[in-house]
């Protein structure tokens, strides 16, 4: 009689035990089956962001008091940025900047950056003419400054993009370290990069037999922004 009752209890509870022992769905497999996030391509918007190069006078020349530090702002540039947070190394960043549209010594930007001295419109015109001359950027032969990436790493506040920067027709590998914000509808890349004129095949501007000249070292501040295509 006791044995019969025990068998009845085992039979009654067998389905419940079997259900309790059924394996849970494999979360990893479900995640692997989900489609990978697609990369998003953004168009660079020249009306957004503030990318510029600071050029410094040589303070040790005899006529340094007659010269100025300069700020050259990017304008009219175009390009694209393709990004997928799941695959940073596959990023693509391409930017083309027409040298003829470079904005020289905008008074508001000089004030914003705390650069001493003001330049008249005539002086700004002379600076741009010198900057585009054959001995400098040679704008008549090399109409654009360009950048093309070879890969990225990290994201957020620890973003890096490696690529080739071309100025005056000469390319140099560079690494821009900075920040990235990309949310699927817009993006922003910011950072700073030291440059030298001689790295791109030209000497710093000089006049008056060297009594007035610029330093070789320059600073590029990058602030590229845009929207998803």
Write out the DSSP string of 161-199: EEEEEEETTEEEEEEEEEEEEE-SSEEEEEEEEEEEGGG
pLDDT averaged over the chain?
89
Contact 164, 150 (CB under 8 A): yes
Q: Can you tell me the mean pLDDT for 131-159?
A: 97
Residues 6+ apart with CB under 8 A from 30: none
201 alpha-carbon distance from chain centroid: 23
pLDDT at 1 exceeding the cut of 80: no
Q: Sorting pLDDT into bands at 50, 70 and 90, what band is 25?
A: low
CATH number of 42-228: 2.40.128.110
* Out of 7-11, 28-32, 44-48, 173-177, least confident range: 7-11
Q: Sorting pLDDT into bands at 50, 70 and 90, what band is 225?
A: very high
pLDDT tens for residues 113-135? Answer: 999 999 999 999 999 999 999 99
Q: Sorting pLDDT into bands at 50, 70 and 90, what band is 13?
A: very low
The pLDDT value recorded for residue 17 is 45
The pLDDT value recorded for residue 151 is 95
The pLDDT value recorded for residue 63 is 83
Q: Sorting pLDDT into bands at 50, 70 and 90, what band is 2?
A: very low
pLDDT at 12 exceeding the cut of 60: no
Determine what percent of the chain is predicted with pLDDT higher than 90: 79
CA 118 – CA 107 distance, rounded (Å): 7
User: Nearest CA to 78 among 47, 50, 45, 36?
Assistant: 45
115, 130, 140, 143, 177 from 134: Cα distances, Å? 27, 9, 7, 12, 31
pLDDT tens for residues 77-94? Answer: 999 999 999 999 999 999
Q: Sorting pLDDT into bands at 50, 70 and 90, what band is 64?
A: confident
The pLDDT value recorded for residue 70 is 98
Residue located via tokens 């001493």: 116
User: Nearest CA to 49 among 229, 224, 228?
Assistant: 224
The first and second tokens of residue 126, run together, are 């002379």
The pLDDT value recorded for residue 10 is 44
**In the chain, what are the domain boundaries?**
42-228
Indicate left, alpha or beta for 116 from its phi (over 0: left) and psi (-120 to 50: alpha).
beta
Sign of CA dihedral 124, 125, 130, 136: positive
The pLDDT value recorded for residue 62 is 87
Write out the DSSP string of 12-42: HHHHHHHHHHSPPP-HHHHHHHSPPPPPEEE
Q: Can you give the pTM of this predicted structure?
A: 0.82
């Amino acid at each position: 009689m006791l044995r019969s009752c025990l068998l009845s209890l085992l039979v009654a509870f067998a389905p419940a035990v079997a259900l309790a022992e059924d394996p849970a769905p494999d979360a990893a497999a479900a995640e692997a089956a989900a489609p990978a996030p697609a990369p998003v391509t953004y168009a660079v918007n020249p009306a957004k962001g503030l990318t510029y190069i600071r050029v410094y006078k040589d303070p040790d020349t005899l006529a340094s008091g007659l010269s100025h530090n300069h700020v050259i702002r990017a304008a009219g540039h175009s390009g694209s940025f393709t990004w997928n947070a799941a695959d940073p190394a596959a990023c693509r960043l391409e930017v083309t900047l027409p040298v003829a549209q470079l904005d020289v010594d905008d008074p508001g930007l000089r004030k914003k950056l705390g650069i001493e001295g003001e330049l008249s419109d005539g002086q700004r015109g002379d600076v741009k003419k010198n900057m585009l001359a054959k001995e400098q950027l040679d704008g008549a032969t090399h109409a654009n400054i360009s950048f093309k990436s070879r890969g990225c790493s990290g994201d957020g506040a620890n973003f890096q993009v490696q690529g080739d920067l071309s100025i005056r027709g000469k390319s140099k590998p560079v690494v821009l370290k900075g920040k990235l914000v990309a949310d699927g509808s817009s993006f922003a890349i910011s950072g700073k990069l030291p440059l030298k004129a001689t790295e791109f095949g030209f000497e710093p501007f000089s006049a008056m037999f060297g009594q007035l000249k610029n330093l070789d070292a320059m600073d590029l501040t990058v602030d590229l922004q845009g929207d998803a295509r």
